[in-house]
């Protein structure tokens, strides 16, 4: 179906000497859209749970979790970017909003005047601890109550391959670790 819709694109590609895209089959297109819909449904469930019960957003929750698991509940901004797989601008804006709400603090890195560290505040930790039980229940309800134990291994392998195949557009090497990526502050 997609191939028929974009038949004119194929002709233009051949004229210009470009390779033809590897169009999705109907089954692949269905699975792709199902993955997107499932992701949106799961994210919406979690977001609504966090917003209605705890007045925090899912991105705020992600930052709070990352900081709570870090040594001294603190990370350099660039490390937080890498851990969350967010770009620097998004992370910086998110942290600034959270700092205004008293959930995190920003401070200069010792020994590196250009670096910024983000630290979880006591209020941020309290909010995380209060939200965690409802968060995990929403994840269990929308994800784990809908799959069998044997599916967990298959899905874990699948999503690990998907995650590890990602690189930024134009990046020369697949599967770089956060430390190897350009996550400069």
Give mean pLDDT, residues 66-92.
96
- Strands 74-76 and 104-109 turn out to be unpaired
Confidence (pLDDT) at 180: 47
Do residues 60 and 98 lie in contact, with contact meaning Cβ atoms separated by under 8 Å? Answer: yes
Spatial separation of the C-alpha atoms in residues 142 and 32, rounded to whole Å? 19
Specify the residue for token string 């603090």. Answer: 105
Spatial separation of the C-alpha atoms in residues 88 and 80, rounded to whole Å? 9
The percent of residues above 90 in pLDDT, for the chain, comes to 72
Give mean pLDDT, residues 19-45.
95
Do residues 134 and 54 lie in contact, with contact meaning Cβ atoms separated by under 8 Å? Answer: yes
- 173 or 14: whose pLDDT is higher? 14
Give CA 50 to chain center in angstroms.
Answer: 17
Confidence (pLDDT) at 142: 96
Specify the DSSP element, H or E, that contains 120: strand 112-120
CATH 1.10.1200.10 matches 2-139: no
Confidence (pLDDT) at 168: 57
Task: State pTM to two decimals.
Answer: 0.78
- 29 or 182: whose pLDDT is higher? 29
pLDDT digits (tens, 9 = 90+) for 156-180: 999 999 988 876 555 444 444 454 4
pLDDT digits (tens, 9 = 90+) for 86-142: 999 999 999 999 999 999 999 998 878 788 999 999 999 999 999 999 999 999 999
């Amino acid at each position: 179906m997609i191939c028929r819709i974009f038949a004119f694109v194929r002709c233009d590609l051949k004229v210009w000497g470009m390779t033809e895209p590897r169009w999705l089959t109907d089954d692949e297109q269905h699975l792709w859209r199902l993955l997107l819909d499932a992701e949106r449904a799961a994210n919406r469930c979690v977001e609504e749970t966090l917003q209605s019960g705890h007045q925090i957003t899912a991105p705020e929750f992600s930052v709070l979790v990352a900081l709570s698991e870090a040594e001294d509940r603190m990370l350099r901004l660039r490390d937080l970017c890498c851990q969350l797989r967010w770009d620097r601008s998004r992370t910086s804006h998110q942290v600034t909003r959270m700092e205004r709400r008293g959930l995190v603090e920003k401070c200069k890195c010792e020994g590196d005047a250009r670096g910024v560290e983000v630290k979880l505040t006591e209020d941020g930790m309290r909010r995380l601890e209060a939200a965690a039980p409802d968060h995990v229940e929403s994840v269990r309800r929308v994800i784990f109550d809908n799959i069998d134990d044997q599916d967990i291994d298959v899905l874990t392998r699948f999503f690990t391959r998907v995650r590890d195949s990602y690189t930024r557009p134009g990046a020369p090497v697949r599967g770089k670790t956060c430390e190897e990526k350009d996550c400069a502050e």
